[in-house]
Amino acid sequence: MKTAERLHRIKPSPSTAAAQRVRELKSQGLTILDLTVGEPDFDTPDHVKAAAIRAIEAGETKYTPVNGTSTLRAAIAGKLRERHGLEFTDGRITVGGGAKQVIFLALMATLDEGDEVIVPAPYWVSYPDMVRANDGTPVIVDCPESDGFKLTPERLAAAVTERTRWIVLNTPGNPTGSAYTAGELRALARVLLAHPHVGVLTDEIYDEIWYGDQDAPSLAAVEPRLADRVFLTNGVSKTYAMTGWRIGYGVGPADLVTAINTLQSQTSSCPSSVSQAAAAAALTGPQDFVQDTVRVYRARRDETVKLVNDVPQLSCTIPDGGFYLLVNCRAAIGQFTPAGTRIENDEDFALHLLDSQQVAVIHGTAYGAPGYFRISFATSTDVLTEACERIATACAALTDAPSV
């Protein structure tokens, strides 16, 4: 059957493809050290699972309102009030099947053909394709490592045109773990205040996997004058190890939220009722799980950064949040494997790690970061240590000229 033209603009998610490749290799009996996984390796907290069970036993298994249950919307409002001092009325909150769905529907609700969306690179792999799928044009703005992988006011100002509809800010970011300070957000806000036609889509899904002394700042709180132009998205997937429960949310202008709800009413109807009960329990219940897992992530981060930086061809900065490292492998590009194959780019390097040492990573070009690769440290310290040892072995085997 003939497929729609819009489908030809996009490609499958590279992270999903990498995970599938790992599954295939494991099914062949190979032992793969998988550093591609973009989800916590912890189980969902017991009190959250118990809330889901109670919901099932109470018969809360029917359709809910399109924009989520009143209980969950109240929990989201309370979370944002407590964390950022933000006040959102009920009509400015929507709930979807994961933050990804909420972002997609926001773009669907607002983009017409030719509209532009500024996407700082490195970026989460799905942003450009979600823009293309909804008739928009992603405007990729390179944010080099020398700038902390973050958008500067100068680069933002240069990228804005009369067709700019959105800028996407993912902080802390995937794949870099970089996060904007309150001062950096204010500097970006000054540019945005001069362009009232530009909205800001903030993806804050990693905001509580955070290694700073104070909470990660949010643009909506830092610059209240942008309140009617910011659409803040988040969810329970990363913070509470609930990726499979598929609950995300968005808060922002009431007219945009209404449009998203209209689209959801014609697509999935509503998020899972049982998952919503679990998400409400996660947001309002004990937060010890978050604190405990962040301590574990921090220890893994520090050890993995040290091991990576001990490899001569590799380097990485220390992420502010999330559970990823974006590793610079440019020194290895142009070298040769023991088989005489030249490493032409970061994808070749990732394949070299997989083929020679059975370590799976995701090449940086997938994130708009050629010359890098992404490591997830959402796995055990033992796996991370062995994987880094194997990566060091793979790098040591590279030479400046092919063996004769």
pLDDT in tens, 47-58: 999 999 999 999
Tokens for 88?
């959102």
219/257 Cα distance (integer angstroms): 18
Give Cα 24 distance to the centre of its chain.
Answer: 24
- Separation of alpha carbons 85 and 76, rounded Å: 12
Instruction: Provide CATH 3.40.640.10 ranges for the chain.
Output: 46-284
Structure tokens at 296: 């574990």
Ranges of the chain whose pLDDT falls below 70 = 15, 404
Q: What is the pLDDT of residue 404?
A: 61
Instruction: Give pLDDT, residue 31.
Output: 86
- Domain(s) of CATH 3.90.1150.10: residues in the chain: 5-43+289-396
Instruction: Please count the other Cβ atoms lying within 10 Å of the Cβ belonging to residue 334.
Output: 12
* CATH architecture of the domain with range 5-43+289-396: Alpha-Beta Complex (3.90)
Cβ pair 304, 386 in contact under 8 A: no
Model pLDDT, residue 5:
85
Scored b (16 or more CB within 10 A) or e, 162-201 reads eebbbbbbbbbbbbbbbbbbeebbebbbebbeeeeebbbb
| CATH number belonging to domain 46-284 | 3.40.640.10
Pair 333, 371: CB distance under 8 Å = yes
